[in-house]
Amino acid sequence: MPRSSILKVAAETRATTASVQDYLAAIYDLTSSGRPVIGARLAKHMGISAPAVTEAIHRMARGGYVKIGRGKVLALSNKGRQIAEVMARRHRLLERWLTDTLGLNWTDAHEEAHRLEHALSPRVEDRLAELLGMPSTCPHGNPIPGMAKPPRVEPFPLNQAKEGTTVVVERITEEAEAERDDLGLSGGCEWMKVLFWIFVAIGCVYAFYTGAMAVWSYLEITSIVEEVVNERASRTDRQDRAGRGRDDIVKKVAASDIPIDEHSISVSNKNKTLEIGMRWN
């Protein structure tokens, strides 16, 4: 295919409406998945009611842009494919520029590229491709028509990957991109949002751990204090008991004829046992 879409398809592209261009580009994108394209699938992908899609399909068929085959399977005619490739090229170049140069995320880049692709002239299209270094794919890995083919790989659906193996996502089709929430895949700031909530979760776990450790430390310190207080109270009680025992001994000694001075009597409490000491001349 020529490097630019400025050749014979340029005039035909300008002659079609933006609505027809969108339909042709959508059929082109869906066809790349290898599954049959029917009206219901096209309506779901574009977010348009089924009756409106049916009417548009018959209108494009009368204009020679699409063919309706057995089972109402849609196929692009040569004229329709040429226009679809022009729109796909412009859309994917714009996505590459919006993500690589302007730093937009995938979602915003896709939406902005859809708005800009209809106004892009062939001259700007060619200059944009040169500015980007003639990229072969869009940010999602879809090949850009008119560019060098990307390195050949043997891709397989992600749901066929074996558990525990490491794989590289080579391509996300336009249809899968529209359903990226179901795939759990996203780009740009969507990943930042995921990381943000991961950090929030980590922060919550850390706060819970810190709080639990603080409560545990408080209970431990309280237990130690109570133990010390009880020990001191027990010690004071023992000392009181020893004092009362000494007073009783002194009184009984004074009432007797034993020649012992009260200062010669000592009473101590050790290991819950009263030890009595007496000294006399």
- Chain position carrying tokens 């004071």: 236
Residue 195: what pLDDT?
A: 59
Write out pLDDT tens, residues 192-235. 556 566 767 787 777 777 777 777 666 665 665 566 556 555 55
pTM for this prediction: 0.59
Write out pLDDT tens, residues 11-48. 566 678 999 999 999 999 999 888 899 999 999 999 99
CA-CA distance, 205 to 92, in Å (whole number)?
A: 42
Which range among 32-46, 93-107, 241-255 shows the weakest confidence by mean pLDDT? 241-255
269: β partners: 274
CA-CA distance, 228 to 220, in Å (whole number)?
A: 12
> Backbone phi, then psi, for 75, in 5-degree steps?
-140, 140
143: β partners: 137
246: β partners: none
**Which domains are seen in the chain, by residue range?**
8-183 (1.10.10.10)
Write out pLDDT tens, residues 228-244. 556 555 555 555 665 66
Residue 231 · residue 209 · CB < 8 Å: no
CA-CA distance, 147 to 144, in Å (whole number)?
A: 6
C-beta neighbour count of 38 within 10 angstroms: 17
